[in-house]
């Protein structure tokens, strides 16, 4: 593999000149041409490791997501990638598996590899610790979930409002006993969506006791949704509708309903976030649609801003959700 001195020698210039040609320094056109030709001839491409060492910063950003098998996050990842490509940053995808320990390891790697910055959908609100990075001046952007104590830019979804909207919609359509399956107690997304649900129920005059008794925390995965739904169905006063706080748990909940011989829209089902392969689900599901791609794109834009040296005060961008009514919440009487 040819290096910068090889190129310099064949072009009859100094290594510094070659470096300038590749980094937009001032070089006369004639020399620059000679350098480019020599580089092409030798198949030279700059060694990024050496460059990173010298610059004390790599042109790679880390993207930490909690579940690579959740289409929400893969779509978010695409948003990041597309946006990053514009400034020639490459994206390293790390799957933390909702595991704070694994997440910590990846954060360490980001530091040790001198990545330019990190975008993270935190595994835990309380326990994810970004201070090691921020303390060393590495730009960090939180996306989708905001770790409690972190002083970082963030891109979020208006979870509470979305949850409130969703619940109000179910009540409007005539469901009387609306339950909620939300995520782990630690996560900001879980709690905000739950807060929205509670607010709407309270507003509708449902006693807080009832609401609390018909709330379940699960793990944002299919199995968790399944188990929670079964519990709810086994209650003395089972619900006639459910607001499920993420897409995968909705898949599980639907499964549990099917096994119990219950079908929407007689029983209302509303999912926060698009269910993967929604086209396969009958009847079509009412969902709160999340701007997953834009979430990623905005986060990357924010990060690139910081990398370019911006020292604006920290900001949080909140993206809107959109309620998409479909068959699964048509109403308990099956009318219209």
In the complex, which residues of this chain contact its own copies (CB under 8 A)? 1, 45-50, 52-53, 58, 60, 68-69, 71, 74-75, 77-78, 81, 90, 92-95, 106, 108-109, 111-114, 136, 222, 251, 254-255, 275-277, 279-282
Q: Does 200 bind DNA (CB under 7 A)?
A: no
Task: Give the DSSP H or E segment for 286.
Answer: strand 286-289
Q: Is 36 among the residues that bind DNA (CB under 7 A)?
A: no
Query: CB–CB of 252/236 below 8 Å?
Result: no
Task: State yes or no: residue 55 binds DNA (CB under 7 A).
Answer: yes
Question: From the list 9, 36, 51, 78, which residue makes contact with DNA (rule: CB under 7 A)?
Answer: 51
Q: Which is nearer to DNA, 30 or 311 (CB)?
A: 30
Q: State the nearest-atom distance from the C-beta of 89 to its own copies, in Å.
A: 11
What is the rounded CA–CA span in Å between residue 93 and residue 322? Answer: 28
Contact between 128 and 103 (Cβ < 8 Å): yes
Question: What whole-number distance in Å separates Cα of residue 325 and Cα of residue 296?
Answer: 25
69 binds, among DNA, its own copies, none (CB under 5 to 8 A by kind): its own copies
Contact status, residue 211 vs residue 177, Cβ threshold 8 Å: no
In the block, residue with structure tokens 């360490």: 108
By C-alpha distance, which of 20, 44, 15 is closest to 32? 20
How far, in Å, CA of 125 to CA of 236, rounded? 34
Q: How many residues interact with DNA (rule CB under 7 A)?
A: 29
333 binds, among its own copies, DNA, none (CB under 5 to 8 A by kind): none
For residue 242, give Cα distances in angstroms to 52, 253, 291: 51, 9, 22
Q: Does 23 bind DNA (CB under 7 A)?
A: yes
Binding track, positions 169-198, relative to DNA; x by CB under 7 A: ------------------------------
Q: Which residues form the interface with DNA (CB under 7 A)?
A: 1, 3-5, 12-20, 22-23, 25-28, 31, 44, 46-47, 50-51, 53-56
């Amino acid at each position: 593999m040819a290096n910068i001195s090889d190129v310099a020698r064949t072009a009859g210039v100094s290594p510094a000149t070659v470096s300038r040609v590749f980094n937009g320094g001032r070089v006369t056109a004639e020399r620059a041409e000679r350098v480019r030709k020599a580089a092409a001839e030798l198949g030279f491409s700059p060694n990024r490791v050496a460059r990173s060492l010298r610059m004390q910063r790599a042109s790679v950003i880390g993207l930490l997501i909690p579940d690579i098998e959740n289409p929400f996050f893969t779509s978010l990842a695409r948003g990041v990638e597309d946006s990053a490509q514009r400034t020639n940053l490459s994206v390293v995808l790390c799957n933390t598996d909702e595991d704070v320990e694994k997440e910590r390891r990846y954060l360490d790697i980001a530091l040790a590899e001198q990545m330019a910055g990190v975008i993270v959908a935190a595994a835990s609100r309380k326990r994810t610790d970004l201070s090691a990075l921020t303390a060393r001046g590495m730009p960090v952007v939180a996306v989708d979930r905001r770790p409690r104590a972190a002083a970082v830019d963030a891109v979020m979804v208006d979870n509470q409002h979305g949850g409130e909207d969703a619940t109000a919609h179910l009540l409007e359509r005539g469901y009387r006993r609306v339950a909620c399956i939300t995520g782990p107690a630690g996560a900001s997304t879980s709690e905000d969506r739950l807060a929205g649900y509670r607010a709407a129920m309270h507003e509708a005059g449902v006693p807080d006791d009832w609401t609390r008794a018909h709330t379940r925390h699960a793990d944002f995965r299919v199995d968790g949704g399944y188990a929670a739904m079964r519990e709810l169905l086994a209650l003395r006063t089972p619900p006639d509708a459910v607001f499920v706080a993420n897409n995968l748990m909705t898949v599980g909940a639907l499964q549990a309903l099917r096994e119990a011989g219950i079908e929407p829209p007689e029983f209302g089902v509303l999912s926060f976030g698009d269910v993967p392969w929604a086209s396969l689900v009958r009847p079509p599901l009412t969902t709160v649609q999340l701007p997953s791609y834009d979430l990623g794109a905005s986060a990357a834009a924010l990060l690139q801003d910081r990398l370019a040296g911006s020292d604006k005060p920290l900001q949080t961008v909140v993206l809107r959700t959109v309620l998409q009514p479909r068959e699964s919440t048509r109403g308990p009487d099956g009318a219209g």
